[in-house]
């Protein structure tokens, strides 16, 4: 795309953010019980007494904070503060520390599991909120969660993941799949890295910087499979891989999040080291995961899952824009980003009034599972972030 096509693309993305995604999530604000409603089904029926996932609430806090900083829309900061108050007053365990997995609709603990992934998203959101507001209380809570992860959720080879309320280990069923029970996952490590990147961005704590370097070594030396050019996904407690799964969505997301971490850290040696990994991930996914119009979900035991999932498409658009900005000779990256956006615009964005994006589609663009439009995992984090990044990067090609 050149010139006018670039302007059209950015304007389309911004229009979807301003006139679809932001108003949709504003309408889910629960003024009676706090936070945001936790479930809107495929038929657009709002379940006001559904559980409120803490990951969902953290992601909404992050989303409205970044809507404010990207668009200078002060009303969005009010919506972020609403999410922050719910997290602070209801989601934190005042006795044992950490955030719960989920709350009832009225803010009572529903699932008291403590998961490292969940703590990470709270840190991510709180760090952004502090960066926007300079609210010292938010930063303190973020550091309380950071210290908890480092003290209770980490061993000498990685981050343990699932615990009961008192931080005794339990089965990691919430982040395992395909018949596996993984003690450690690439997914959780990636989002701890993402959270610590944001914490370091807003506070420049050298202990956090050391954690980022340690995790980059894990990505490059343990998780990355140079023969397959993928990040392994599921591991036992000793970081031995348990599956041949290749998650295209997580790999393209990891490629740009690792690049972002290097940018924020500003360590030339690690930037050079990690670029070898992220370049390989981008190339491999384009070769094997991109079908010419959109990104497939994953490959497991040699079988490609051609399902199109909302977050995978959003991360692919951003991942390939990022790759092009790092190397403008890679015009195939920006062409892929453009085609994935066109598919997303035409099929993934739900045109029904009162909706947002579909959860998933088949390869022809038809909703297949009729999964929820809002739920514990279906949130404005991936698609919102893609929009923010497109606007802020204002990429020219």
At residue 90, the pLDDT reads 98
- Prediction pTM value: 0.97
- Our CA angle for 56, 131, 13, nearest 5°, is 60
Q: How many CB atoms lie within 10 A of CB 346?
A: 11
Question: Domains of the chain, with CATH numbers?
Answer: 4-393 (1.50.10.10)
What percent of the residues of the chain are helix, what percent strand, and what percent coil, each to the nearest 5?
55, 10, 35
At residue 158, the pLDDT reads 94
Kindly tell me if the per-residue pLDDT of 1 is higher than 60.
no
Distances (CA, A) of 65 to 9, 76, 161, 289, 333: 24, 7, 27, 32, 29
Mean pLDDT of 166-187: 91
Mean pLDDT of 313-321: 98
Mean pLDDT of the chain: 96
Tokens of 66: 């970044």
Q: How many CB atoms lie within 10 A of CB 308?
A: 30
Q: How many CB atoms lie within 10 A of CB 146?
A: 24
Kindly tell me if the per-residue pLDDT of 61 is higher than 70.
yes
319-377 residue pLDDT tens: 999 999 999 999 999 999 999 999 999 999 999 999 999 999 999 999 998 999 999 99
Residue 4 — pLDDT band, cuts 50, 70, 90? low
* Sign of the Cα pseudo-torsion (106, 110, 116, 118, in order): negative
Say how far residue 228 (Cα) sits from the centre of its chain.
Answer: 24
CA distance 393 to 3: 16
Residue 50 — pLDDT band, cuts 50, 70, 90? very high
At residue 397, the pLDDT reads 55
At residue 7, the pLDDT reads 80
| Buried residues in 76-91 as b, exposed as e (16+ CB within 10 A) | bbebbbbbbebbeebb
Say how far residue 384 (Cα) sits from the centre of its chain.
Answer: 10
Distances (CA, A) of 145 to 8, 201, 274: 42, 17, 27
65-121 residue pLDDT tens: 999 999 999 999 999 999 999 999 999 999 999 999 999 999 999 999 999 999 999
Beta strands in the chain (DSSP E): 52-53, 102-103, 109-111, 114-115, 162-163, 184-185, 224-225, 230-231, 234-235, 246-247, 298-300, 303-305, 308-309, 360-361
At residue 157, the pLDDT reads 93
């Amino acid at each position: 795309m050149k010139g006018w096509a670039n302007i059209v693309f950015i304007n389309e993305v911004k229009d979807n953010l301003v006139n679809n995604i932001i108003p949709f999530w504003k309408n889910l604000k629960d003024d009676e019980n706090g936070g945001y409603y936790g479930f809107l089904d495929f038929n657009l029926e709002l379940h006001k007494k559904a559980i409120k996932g803490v990951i969902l609430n953290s992601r909404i806090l992050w989303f409205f904070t970044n809507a404010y900083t990207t668009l200078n829309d002060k009303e969005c900061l009010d919506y972020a503060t609403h999410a922050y108050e719910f997290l602070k007053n209801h989601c934190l365990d005042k006795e044992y520390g950490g955030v719960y997995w989920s709350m009832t609709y009225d803010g009572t603990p529903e699932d008291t599991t403590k998961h490292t992934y969940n703590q990470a998203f709270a840190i991510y959101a709180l760090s952004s909120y502090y960066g926007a507001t300079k609210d010292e209380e938010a930063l303190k809570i973020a550091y309380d969660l950071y210290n908890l992860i480092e003290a209770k959720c980490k061993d000498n080879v990685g981050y343990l993941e699932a615990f009961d309320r008192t931080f005794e280990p339990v089965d990691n069923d919430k982040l395992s799949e395909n018949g596996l029970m993984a003690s450690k996952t690439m997914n959780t490590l990636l989002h701890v890295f993402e959270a610590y990147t944001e914490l370091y961005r807003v506070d420049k704590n050298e202990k956090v910087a050391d954690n980022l370097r340690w995790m980059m070594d894990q990505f490059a030396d343990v998780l990355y499979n140079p023969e397959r050019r993928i990040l392994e996904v599921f591991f036992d407690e000793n970081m031995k891989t348990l599956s041949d799964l290749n998650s295209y969505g997580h790999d393209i997301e990891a490629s740009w999040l690792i690049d972002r971490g290097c940018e924020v850290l500003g360590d030339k040696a690690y930037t050079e080291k990690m670029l070898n990994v992220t370049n390989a991930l981008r190339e491999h996914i384009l070769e094997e995961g991109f079908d010419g119009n959109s990104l497939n979900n994953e490959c497991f035991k040699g079988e490609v899952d051609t399902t199109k999932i909302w977050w995978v498409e959003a991360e692919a658009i951003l991942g390939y824009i990022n790759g092009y900005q790092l190397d403008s000779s890679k015009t195939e990256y920006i062409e892929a980003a453009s085609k994935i956006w066109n598919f997303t615009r035409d099929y993934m964005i739900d045109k029904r009034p009162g909706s947002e994006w579909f959860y998933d589609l088949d390869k022809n663009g038809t909703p297949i599972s009729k999964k929820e439009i809002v739920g514990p995992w279906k949130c404005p984090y991936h698609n919102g972030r893609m929009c923010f990044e497109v606007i802020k990067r204002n990429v020219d090609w």
